[in-house]
Amino acid sequence: MNPYSKPVLAFRWVVFLLAAFYCLHEIFMASYAQAFGPFRFLTIWALLLSFFCASRLLAFTEGRSQRHWDVLIAAVAVVNLMVVFLYWRLFFADPNSVTPDGELGVWWREYYLHLLGPLLMWIDAIIINRPFRRFFASAFVLVVIAGAYFAWAELVLEPLNDRPVGSVTTGLPYPFLNNLELEARLSFYITNTGVALGALAGFFALGWVVTRIFGDRPA
């Protein structure tokens, strides 16, 4: 008998169905005017990874799997944090730096992708699942995801796309990146990877505190 309660099962079904809906919406409704369409954006990488994590948590809750996926879920929680942090920080500093016309898109899409979706994952991770158990393995996966995305942007997207147009280059997925020289972009990538690792350490510390207060998660 699975030790998780019916409210947890209901919550995970909601998270899973929302993530599934937005994945399908982005894949089939987004523009493909530029090469690889929505897959150019870290936000969509985070969405797809979150959907996979939600599917695995639901399978575990229903007793269809015995695997926790702790390492990946811990890393993806931080990827979502970086999406939220970077998007809103850049948007409030200069909306044109992350959006084509300086305006938010459809509100129910933007607020799910850049706030609600990540928040739902953090609630599960911090309160219910608490996957923060193997720091160095999670850090390795986090660095691999970040490095893969940065390489994707520089080696694949930039050569194949002619939008957005910047003062230095074209084709990088976020407008502000096209205004930076390669050295400055590499510095941005490295700095934010370091921030992500610091955030991962913060999640691990928070997970330890929650576990000390409420005990370990159900088996």
| pLDDT 10s digits, 186-204 | 999 999 999 999 999 999 9
Q: Which of 91-100, 106-115, 151-160, 179-188 is the least confident region?
A: 91-100
Query: pLDDT tens, 59-92?
Result: 999 989 989 999 999 999 999 999 999 999 988 9
The answer on pLDDT for 24 being more than 50 is yes
Does 53 have pLDDT greater than 50? yes
pLDDT value at residue 132: 96
Query: Is the pLDDT reported for residue 104 higher than 80?
Result: no
| pLDDT confidence band for 219 (50 / 70 / 90) | low
Residues 6+ apart with CB under 8 A from 212: none
Span 139-168, pLDDT tens digits: 999 999 999 999 999 999 999 999 999 999
pLDDT on residue 77: 98
**pLDDT for the residue 214:** 87
Measure the CA dihedral 19/215/195/103, to 10°.
Answer: 30
Looking at residue 106, its amino acid is V
Asked if 142 and 73 touch (Cβ cutoff 8 Å), the reply is no
Q: Which residue has the tokens 């500093």?
A: 93
Q: Indicate the pLDDT class of residue 4, thresholds 50, 70 and 90.
A: low
What confidence category does residue 5 fall into, taking pLDDT thresholds of 50, 70 and 90?
Answer: confident
Dihedral sign (CA 209, 212, 213, 214): positive
pLDDT band at 1 (very low <50, low <70, confident <90, very high): very low
Whole-angstrom CA distances from 51 to 20, 55, 196, 213 are 6, 6, 20, 29
